Amino acid sequence: MEQISNSQLQEHQQQWPALMGRAMELAASVLSAHPNPRVGCVLEKQGRIVAEGWHEAPGLPHAEAMALAMAGEQAAQATVFVTLEPCSHHGRTGPCSEALINAGVAEVVIAGLDPNPSVAGQGVAALQQAGIRVWQLSDFEARARALNPGYFKRREQGLPLVRLKAAMSLDGRTAMADGEAKWITGAEARADVQRLRLASDAILTGVNTVLLDDPSLNVRPENLRFSEAEQQANSQLLRRQPLRVILDSQLRTPAVARTLGIEGQCLIYTTAEAAGSRSHLAKAELHRVSSESGRVHLASVLESLARDHECNEILVEAGPTLGGAFLSAGLVDEIIVYMAPKILGSDAKPLFEIAGFKSLDHCIELQCQDVRQVGPDVRLLYRPILSTD
């Protein structure tokens, strides 16, 4: 495969970044194709886009197959721009590399290789063996990964991407001392959370939040505030609910918990030794993992979600203790905080319960990635800076 950067492109290749950018845009129009990656594809011929495709959900055509179907005979001698290496395996659908060869395309330009061990370079090799020239636009590799951060993390590390979501006041408080927390943020922030949920493969919480707030943890399409186009691009996704996951080391989840009674699948992670009653929890799939100080071992839960449920991206919507535990364990990739223009005072509860930091040397360092106003609130996106020692 030939690596080429934007600055090395020849005269006749000047359109390549724009065409790959369009393929990226098509891929990103779908919030999640779980467990598959989001992929976009553009077919170009004589300076014109002749077809476009994207992957919407498992079992539906891959991006290349959709574009080829749209192009028909025009696919012959076209240049193909695709955000991920075309697949080479027989999965739920046939191999895209073979379909591209059969359609007689001239060249294939990709943004990144597929880390799926059933593909991993074999898609490129199949195309090359058929005499098709394959390029990788190296300036797009980071974007190819950023498009599917959880998919890459699961394939490469056996763990899902973890997003921690929280809402707080200007003074970093989340709830009054008695637990009263409803509606700290406005309707726009809550619609944004609905989108985060829709894009997630699982929503994870702790039993204490279930006992205190009895959340539903589901996607309510009417609250998404989607445009017509967004609605259309995500029509498949809107038919499913993300998995709901409760961490419950002593099996205290009540059978009447709201989240157990609504559409979609619930998982409860408990410890090997937990003896609580299970009969009334028939509505949830029970997983037992190892324990650490009497609590479920968080990394084991994440490994199980990646291995047993193919979760690429999970959203943690938990209280300050579980949120703090995920952070302290170094298991968080992104923190999304909605900051409401309110001051709750120092009797109210903090954002995270993390005890034992004695000096600034212990603090968890973050990098701010994005700041946006959503209605009256501010949405902050942080990534922990991984310590190198």
| Distance in angstroms (rounded) separating the CA atoms of residues 218 and 344 | 27
The answer to whether residue 84 forms part of the interface with ligand AOF (CB under 6 A) is yes
Q: Which two tokens stand for residue 31?
A: 């919030």
CB of 231 to ligand AOF, least distance (A): 21
> By C-beta, is 113 or 374 nearer to ligand AOF?
113
* Helix residue ranges per DSSP H, 130-270: 141-147, 149-157, 187-199, 207-213, 228-233
Location of structure tokens 């001239």: 106
Q: 197 forms bridges with which residues in the sheet?
A: none
**Which one of 23, 32, 42, 62 is in contact with ligand AOF (CB under 6 A)?**
62
**One of 64, 85, 317, 334 is an active-site residue; which one?**
64
| Distance in angstroms (rounded) separating the CA atoms of residues 24 and 274 | 46
CB of 94 to Zn ion, least distance (A): 8
- Other beta carbons less than 10 A from residue 151's beta carbon: 27
Residue 64 is a catalytic residue: yes
| Distance in angstroms (rounded) separating the CA atoms of residues 76 and 74 | 5
> By C-beta, is 149 or 375 nearer to ligand AOF?
149
The answer to whether residue 93 forms part of the interface with ligand AOF (CB under 6 A) is yes
The answer to whether residue 68 forms part of the interface with ligand AOF (CB under 6 A) is no
* Segment contacting Zn ion by CB under 5 A, of 94-102, 213-221, 321-329, 332-340: 94-102
> By C-beta, is 64 or 317 nearer to ligand AOF?
64
H or E element: which one contains 110?
strand 107-110
CB of 96 to ligand AOF, least distance (A): 4
The answer to whether residue 82 forms part of the interface with Zn ion (CB under 5 A) is no
CB of 45 to ligand AOF, least distance (A): 20
Q: Which two tokens stand for residue 310?
A: 């193919």
* Helix residue ranges per DSSP H, 163-269: 187-199, 207-213, 228-233
> By C-beta, is 87 or 204 nearer to Zn ion?
87
The answer to whether residue 264 forms part of the interface with ligand AOF (CB under 6 A) is no
**Which one of 44, 86, 204, 320 is in contact with ligand AOF (CB under 6 A)?**
86
The answer to whether residue 39 forms part of the interface with ligand AOF (CB under 6 A) is yes
With b meaning 16 or more CB within 10 Å and e meaning fewer, what string describes 74-99? ebeebbbbbbbbbbbbeeebebbbbb
Q: In degrees rounded to 5, what are phi and psi of residue 30?
A: -95, 130
| Distance in angstroms (rounded) separating the CA atoms of residues 291 and 272 | 7
**Which one of 19, 41, 67, 96 is in contact with Zn ion (CB under 5 A)?**
96
Q: 314 forms bridges with which residues in the sheet?
A: 162, 202
| Distance in angstroms (rounded) separating the CA atoms of residues 377 and 193 | 13
What does DSSP assign to residue 159? -
Binding track over 36-75 against Zn ion, x by CB under 5 A: --------------------------x-------------
> By C-beta, is 83 or 185 nearer to ligand AOF?
83
The answer to whether residue 26 forms part of the interface with ligand AOF (CB under 6 A) is no
Query: Reading across the β-sheet that carries 40-45, which strands appear in turn?
Result: 2-4, 133-137, 107-110, 79-82, 40-45, 48-54
Binding track over 100-119 against ligand AOF, x by CB under 6 A: --------------x-x--x
Taking CB within 5 to 8 Å according to partner kind, which of ligand AOF, Zn ion, none is near residue 266?
none
Location of structure tokens 């959370």: 193
Contact 75, 102 (CB under 8 A): no
What does DSSP assign to residue 351? S
CB of 58 to ligand AOF, least distance (A): 4
H or E element: which one contains 80?
strand 79-82
> By C-beta, is 90 or 362 nearer to ligand AOF?
90
The answer to whether residue 150 forms part of the interface with ligand AOF (CB under 6 A) is no
The answer to whether residue 87 forms part of the interface with Zn ion (CB under 5 A) is yes
The answer to whether residue 318 forms part of the interface with Zn ion (CB under 5 A) is no
The answer to whether residue 163 forms part of the interface with ligand AOF (CB under 6 A) is no
The answer to whether residue 204 forms part of the interface with ligand AOF (CB under 6 A) is no
Catalytic residues: 64
Q: Which residues bind ligand AOF (CB under 6 A)?
A: 36-37, 39, 55, 58, 62-64, 84, 86-87, 91-93, 96, 114, 116, 119
Q: Which residues bind Zn ion (CB under 5 A)?
A: 62, 87, 96
